[in-house]
Amino acid sequence: MKKWLAAALCTGLACGAGGSSVAKAQISPVGGGYLFRRKLQKGLVFNYALSTVIQAKGLPKMPSGPDMSNQKMTTSMKMTILDVVGSKAKMAIETTELMMNGQKMSEARRIESEITERGQVVESVTGGRMNPSEEIEYPEKPLKVGDVVPIKLKQLGSSNIRFIGFKPYKGKDAALWQMLLSLSSDDIKNKKKTKKPTPKQKITGVINLLISKEDGWPLSTTVTMDVSVQAGEQPITAKTVATIVRQ
């Protein structure tokens, strides 16, 4: 179940923050569409708060350990652009401890990567790849409202996210990208290209990604997802709401 959440969040964690003037908007009108680029500037610091709430039913009761039927996970992420050469930036990505229901689940982590203004990860310099920095990138050509952008989710394979248009968000102009989730067991097997038997399962939901028109970095990602798994006589269902919000 956590793998599905991680896959969905892949659309948002490659994001950062920053600021620029309206005159230097990074989402600019070109030829009837909009060209998406990220602002790269040495010294920019990007801060995000990440929260995930999972409410599950049908899980077997464990004699000890945390309550897995109600989970709240929190962490924070800081991205710092260390240097810029041309259209590439060297970036440090730091995450704090991952907490679940008040208990530490993982240690703080720091890596360095090189990223382009389109969000392409050129090279992971130290510490391995930060899970999903490489998952989504802006297209080379302008997008028109209604166009779709191909993305790659590690657990689900290739998919598409749609450019819906613009909307205000906390006093800023933001572009809305949206992905509707509707997958069954057969869809999942086909996307992962595996012949292994999988439990009967279904995933429905929506991912909303808001990108700042001024600086080209996302303002927020919201994932709402319903998962049902029939692995035995007792079905397991889970409702997940995850947010990644620029601070």
pTM, whole model, 2 decimals?
0.80
The Cα–Cα gap between 219 and 222 comes to 10
Q: Residues 213, 34: contact at Cβ < 8 Å?
A: no
CATH class label, 2-61+70-246: mainly beta
What is the identity of the amino acid at 168?
P
The domain segmentation of the chain, as residue ranges, is: 2-61+70-246
Helix, strand, coil shares of the chain, percent, nearest 5, are 10, 55, 35
Residue 234 banded pLDDT, cuts 50, 70, 90:
confident
Residue 8 banded pLDDT, cuts 50, 70, 90:
very low
Query: Helix (H, G, I), strand (E, B), or coil: what is residue 15?
Result: coil
Q: Residues 87, 73: contact at Cβ < 8 Å?
A: no
Query: Helix (H, G, I), strand (E, B), or coil: what is residue 232?
Result: coil
* Beta-ladder partners of 179: 207
Q: Supply φ then ψ for residue 190, to 5 degrees.
A: -65, -40
Model pLDDT, residue 151: 78
User: Number of helices and strands (H, E) in the chain?
Assistant: 2, 15
Model pLDDT, residue 210: 96
Model pLDDT, residue 131: 43
Least-confidence region, from 59-63, 200-204, 221-225: 59-63
The share of the chain scoring above pLDDT 90, in percent, equals 55
Highest mean predicted confidence (pLDDT) among 66-75, 92-101, 194-203 = 92-101
Could you give the maximum distance between any two Cα atoms of the chain, in Å? 62
Residue 64 banded pLDDT, cuts 50, 70, 90:
low
What is the identity of the amino acid at 36?
F
pLDDT tens-digit map of 117-165: 998 887 665 555 444 434 578 999 999 999 998 876 655 556 789 999 9
> Does 229 have pLDDT greater than 90?
no
Q: Supply φ then ψ for residue 189, to 5 degrees.
A: -65, -40
Model pLDDT, residue 199: 65
Structure tokens at 71: 């989970």
Q: Residues 207, 161: contact at Cβ < 8 Å?
A: yes
Model pLDDT, residue 181: 85
- Residues 100-133 as b or e (16 or more Cβ within 10 Å = b): beeeeeeeebebbbbbbbebbbeebeeeeebebb
Model pLDDT, residue 230: 80
Q: Residues 38, 118: contact at Cβ < 8 Å?
A: yes
pLDDT tens-digit map of 158-187: 678 999 999 999 999 999 999 998 887 666
Model pLDDT, residue 5: 47
Distances (CA, A) of 226 to 6, 66, 127, 213, 218: 14, 22, 33, 30, 24
Q: Residues 208, 174: contact at Cβ < 8 Å?
A: no
Residue 212: closest CA among 24, 7, 8, 9: 24
Of the chain, the end-to-end C-alpha distance in Å amounts to 28
Structure tokens at 5: 């959440």
179 or 13: which leads in pLDDT: 179
Model pLDDT, residue 192: 53
59 or 47: which leads in pLDDT: 47
Least-confidence region, from 9-23, 29-43, 92-106: 9-23
> Does 7 have pLDDT greater than 90?
no
